[in-house]
Amino acid sequence: MMKFVSGNVDRMFRQVCRRLWLAFPAVLFSLSAHAVEVEFKASFRPDAGDPLKNEFTNTTPSSGYCANYPTRCKLSFRLPLTFNSRTTIEANHSDHRQGATLKAPADWRTLTVVNPATGDETEVELRISGIGSAYLLSHSAVELVPGAVSVLDAHRKLWGSDWLYAPGPCLGTGLALYGARGYAFFWKTPVEGFCSKLARYPIPGMVYQYLDVAYELRTPKPLEMDAGIYTGSISYSVGPFKDFDMGDVMLPGDDNIVFNFTLTVEHTLKVEIPPGGNRIQLEPQGGWQAWLNQGRKPAKLFRDQTFNLSASSRFKMQLECGTGQIGDTCAVQNAAGSQVPLEVLVSLPNGLTNIDGGAVNRLPLRVSGAGTELFQPSFYVDRRPGTLHFEVQREGVEEMLKREGDTWSGTVSVIWDSEV
């Protein structure tokens, strides 16, 4: 049994050590001869109820200290990594490396995750924000400290203060557990540096039974990423003068911790055209009456066709011509095969920008895709209206009117392509 110690509460509660401190989901970890591997997973899926969301959701179960005390910290792993003393920890040692000292890689580090299907790369940043364990002494604390009046008094006198209170630059969390031989603790690591406790009595043997690691992440913005699965790894060395350094006495059972990252990005790109919207009839402003009654030539023929767009990913647009092509645009033609250019322009809803970061308003679509190579959402656009503008300009209209009675027609495909 272990007792519970709080920096804010004087009462002590009995808790079962195994229940609170030794359980961890084995699915998260794999052991090799020299490394502990941690599987980290996060995902993004657009949410119509929260269109401004532009961050990953951590789908990795938390374990260890932060899982037991979520108000004290957010994310942690309990790693099956032990440290054993190779010799006696001498009393009042002059070198912190010869006693109980802990250093975690608290500075931000960067790893690259890659989508193997597209080759797209992005970066993830990781820092270790806390570290903890449960030390187990070779003898009870009362045996090691003559004259101690209680178990807690013995732990305190053994180190000058109990491990509820973290030595600088570490910070305590205000909660700990202790028993006759053991003391479970967790310290925050705001900066990288050694946090050391000085033994006041000889300790023949000591073990850190596991390693609790709290972490913070900076993940990329999924709205700026292609859909797919991104993977990458970062390795931390463990041992004297390495990333996780417990001094020269406490030696690890494994010499590496590998974080394997899997980020899954799911995107939506959906275009809804209203019924009949795929058949476009071009007319002058106000209809044909001005031409039929007054002989006034129209300045242009046009039709605006609205559509609803749902988009959480970047995409590009271009034309594909079924009837004919003039330059970089499509054409309509009559029965004799004469052709005039048909211009197609697009206006996109708020929240989507072009390659220069500007709003998309009457932007010409081309067969080559020039000028419409990238549209980027700043938030999830969910069934917002956009417009396709179909136009034949004055020169084309004049050519068409030379052949009164002819029917001009054509087929144009507008392509939304998420493979940018």
Q: What is the pLDDT of residues 133-169, one digit of tens each?
A: 999 999 999 999 999 999 999 999 999 999 999 999 9
The number of distinct structural domains making up the chain is 2
Distance between CA atoms of residues 315 and 327, nearest Å? 24
Tell me, yes or no, whether 336 and 210 share the same domain.
no
Contacts of 186 (CB under 8 A, 6+ apart): 65, 72, 73, 130, 131, 132, 173, 175, 176, 212, 214
Length of the chain: 420
Domain that holds residue 350: 269-417
Tell me, yes or no, whether 318 and 288 share the same domain.
yes
For 58-72, write each residue's pLDDT tens digit.
Answer: 999 999 999 999 988
pLDDT for position 286: 79
Tell me, yes or no, whether 284 and 151 share the same domain.
no
CA dihedral 285, 288, 293, 294 (to 10 degrees): 40
Mean pLDDT confidence for 165-191: 96
Tell me, yes or no, whether 241 and 273 share the same domain.
no
Tell me, yes or no, whether 310 and 205 share the same domain.
no
Tell me, yes or no, whether 261 and 275 share the same domain.
no
Tell me, yes or no, whether 255 and 328 share the same domain.
no
Tell me, yes or no, whether 296 and 362 share the same domain.
yes
pLDDT for position 292: 62
The CATH number assigned to the domain holding 389 equals: 2.60.40
Q: Are strands 256-265 and 36-44 parallel, antiparallel or unpaired?
A: parallel
Domain stop point among 265, 290, 313: 265
Which residue carries 């374990």 as its tokens? 63
Extract the tokens encoding 9.
Answer: 């509460």
Angle among Cα 194, 124, 47 to the nearest 5 degrees reads 130
Tell me, yes or no, whether 295 and 352 share the same domain.
yes
Considering only CA atoms, which of 235, 233, 234, 231 is closest in space to residue 262? 231
Q: Report the sign of the C-alpha dihedral through residues 344, 350, 353, 359, in that order.
A: positive
Tell me, yes or no, whether 276 and 260 share the same domain.
no
Domain stop point among 265, 289, 319: 265
The band of 350, judged by pLDDT with boundaries at 50, 70 and 90, is very high
Per-residue pLDDT at 31 exceeds 70: no
For 214-251, write each residue's pLDDT tens digit.
Answer: 999 999 999 999 999 999 999 999 999 999 999 999 99
Residues forming beta bridges with residue 269, ordered by sequence position? 311
| Contact indicator for 63, 22 with CB cutoff of 8 Å | no
For 250-308, write each residue's pLDDT tens digit.
Answer: 999 999 999 999 999 999 999 999 999 999 999 998 777 766 655 677 889 999 999 99
Tell me, yes or no, whether 220 and 306 share the same domain.
no
For 97-108, write each residue's pLDDT tens digit.
Answer: 999 999 999 999
Per-residue pLDDT at 25 exceeds 90: no
Tell me, yes or no, whether 170 and 55 share the same domain.
yes
Domain stop point among 212, 243, 265: 265
For 388-407, write each residue's pLDDT tens digit.
Answer: 999 999 999 999 888 877 89
